[in-house]
Every structure is written in C-alpha cells, then in structure tokens.
Amino acid sequence: MKRATFIAATAAMLATGAAGAQSDDATPRRIENMGRPVYVAPMISFTVDDSARRTKVGYGGTLALGTRVLSFAAVEAMAYYTKFNDENDIYVGARTEATGYGGNLLLFPLPGAMRDVFLLAGAAYNDVRQHPYTAGGAVGLADYDSTVYDLGLGYLGAFDLFGNPAALRFEARYRLDDHGEEGLGDGSDDQFGDVVLSAGFMFPLFYSPPPPPPAPEPVEVVAVADADYDGVIDDIDQCPDSPYGATVDATGCTPAPEPEPEPVCAPVGENGEVDLAGCTTGDVVVLQGVTFEFDSERLTADAQTILDGVVAALQAAPDISVEVGGHTDARGADDYNQRLSERRAASVRDYLVDRGIDGARLSAVGYGEASPVADNDTDEGREQNRRVELTVQ
C-alpha cells in the first residue's frame, strides 16, 4: 500500500514537472541560480504511515538548509517534526511524535524539460515519543530512537521572489524507520516503511546576482574618403570620377561588358529557318522540308517557301559560299539516283540564283545514294536520306 502511494505521488510530481518546465535546453537548472552560497527550504509534510505502527496519518514540517556543490547536485542538512494521530481509543490523549535531524543529497540528472526534477537520498536520527506497542497481549506507549533512510523524487517549480530566484518544492519520500525494537506497533516487524509527501518553498540566503556581462569595447569609427560615393575609397579607386549610382568593381571602375557569345552554326534548318551566322568552312546545314515532285527535280510549293528563307540567310551572310548537295535513297539504280541527285541540286541552285543570290557563291553537286544518314530499309530512314544540304566552302 505504501509503495503504491509513493509511486503514485512521484508519478504525479513527474507529470507536474514536465508540464511546468521550460523547453529551452539552454535554460540552467533552478538549483544553479539559487544554490550559492546557501538556500533554505521550509515545507509542510503529510505522512502516510506504515499500518504496523497502529497510528493514523501524520502531519508536520521539514526545514532544510543546503548549498549546491555541482551544477547538478546539492547537499543539505534537514530537521523534521511529525505528529501521528492514534489509531485506538485506548491511546486517546497520547501524542505520538517523531523528531529527526539528518542530511540529504539532491541530484538533478535529467536534461531539457526535466532539468528541475531531482532524485533524493537521505538519512537521519529519529527520536519518537509515545509510540504504541504490543507486548504479551498488553498495549501501551513507548519512546524509542532509530535511524531512518529516505529515497525520493522531487521537483522545483521556478518563480521570482522580490527579484531573486526562488522555487516551489515538491517531494515524495519513502522513509524506512529501522527501529530494531521488538513489540513496537503491532509487533509484526522491526522496521516501519512510511511515505512522506512534502510541499513548500526554496529560496537563497545572502543571494548576490551574477555580475552583468562586460560592455563591449567601443569601436572607433574612422571616416574614409570616397569622393564619387561608389563604395571604393579614394586611396584605391582607379576611376575616382565614376557616375553616381554606377556599378563598379573592386578597383572603382565600371567593368567592361561581357562579350557577346560567338554564334554557333545550326546543323539543321527547321521549317526554312536557316541561320548561317557562325558557320565556317565544312559546316553542313540540312534543308529539312525541301522536297521535289515524284521522280522529278521540280520543287514543291513548300520547298520554295523554305528556300526563300535560305535566300534571306545567304543575303545576311554575304561572305559565305556554299555547295548545294543533292542526296537520294537507295531505291532504284545507282546511275539513275546519281543523275536525279545532280538535277535536284542544280534545281535548288537555280532557284537561289533566280532570287538574287550571286551564282559565284553557289555550286551544285549530286551524291546519289552514296552518303546515307539513316537506314534505307525503312520508310523513315529513306525519307531522311532524300535530302538537300548546304556545305559551307
């Protein structure tokens, strides 16, 4: 029964501590703020007594005087007083009292939100007056002294008292009274196990707040000359007359603009959008969409539209000369394909000349089926092989 009471009380204190603790891991334990030089902790106590005592619950108080010895540990001297209510009418008028003097060790082992929960171990001299006893069927009252041993759990709930650090203190102790006397209480054991629940305050004596952190050293501000307000001081400004608001580099000068990237020759002209800028000797542009009527060198209407774009590209690049190359697929005889490719290349050259391109810039060559770019065994491959190319000379 007593162990269950102790467990329930300690669980309640743990829950209270977890709910009331701050979540910031950087916050120090309360004992660190108030444990030096000494603190005092007055508390009221409620004792759930061992049933073998033949008394009822006890009421009293505890006074502790302690100091912090480590950031997570404190030692303290304590004194307590408890008055027990008597159990039977035969003891009416008797005062069963216990007075003790001893010491405690408090440990704060948990981090974070549980930093103010502590474990407690203690021992004390215990002086008891008018305690019930049973001997040979007779009952009476006896005085005895003993040693008691405490194990417990507690929590400090922080608050400020007139600007000084203080705490509410809650404890649950299991107290073993090792009296070693035959016949005390109901005579069934030479030890009593009580549960002591305490609540009170804890505050420092002779408290001195920590000194404030030192003030930062004043920073000497040295004015520097910057006549053109470009952010570069005059001593290193190589362009001291930069326009106000201009973007400058580390030397105070406006950086040279990035050069335009060199144009890249487009290998394929799609839908007649041919651009010869950046093309040099050996570059090839495939004129996609330049097609002919079946088995003929006559240009289709779509092909003429695309070639009009080639005319514009050649006019925009007057220094470029090109070879017009005609290619066929592999169907038909080699000689026939060769002649057909030559006629088609010439047809494209003639169209460009008719539209104003100097014939000296153009040559026409037929390659027949000799230079395929795809598989002649598929429709798609043969379509790619039937092509007209411009090769820059």
**Residues 323-376: tens digit of each pLDDT:** 999 999 988 899 999 999 999 999 999 999 999 999 999 999 999 999 899 998
Checking if the pLDDT of 255 tops 50, the result is yes
Q: Report the predicted TM-score, pTM, of the whole model to 2 decimal places.
A: 0.50
Of these ranges, 3-17, 21-35, 155-169, 233-247, the one predicted with the greatest mean pLDDT is 155-169
Q: What does the block give as tokens for 6?
A: 């102790």
Homologous superfamily in CATH for domain 268-392: OmpA-like domain (3.30.1330.60)
3-state DSSP call for residue 287?
Answer: strand
* Domain boundary assignment for the chain: 2-205, 268-392
Checking if the pLDDT of 15 tops 60, the result is no
For residue 375, the tally of other CB atoms under 10 A from its CB is 13
Calculate what percentage of the chain has a pLDDT beyond 70. 90
Q: What does the block give as tokens for 30?
A: 């309360």
**What DSSP character marks residue 298?**
P
Cα–Cα nearest to 63, from 171, 144, 146: 171
Task: Decide the pairing of beta strands 192-205 and 55-70.
Answer: unpaired
Beta bridge partners of 76: 66, 104
Q: How would residue 223 be classed by pLDDT, with cut points 50, 70 and 90?
A: confident
SS3 for 33-95 is: HHCCCEEEEEEEEEEECCHHHCEEEEEEEEEEEEEEEECCEEEEEEEEEEEEEECCHHHCCCC
CATH class for domain 2-205? mainly beta
Beta bridge partners of 127: 99, 145
Output the CA torsion sign for 13, 19, 25, 29. Answer: negative
Task: Give the integer Cα–Cα distance in Å for 231 and 248.
Answer: 9
Checking if the pLDDT of 19 tops 50, the result is no
Alpha-carbon distances of 258 from 25, 245, 246, 250, rounded to whole Å: 53, 20, 16, 17
How much is the average pLDDT of 214-219?
A: 86
Angle at 197 between CA 191 and CA 198, to 5 degrees: 125
What was the pLDDT predicted at 271? 60
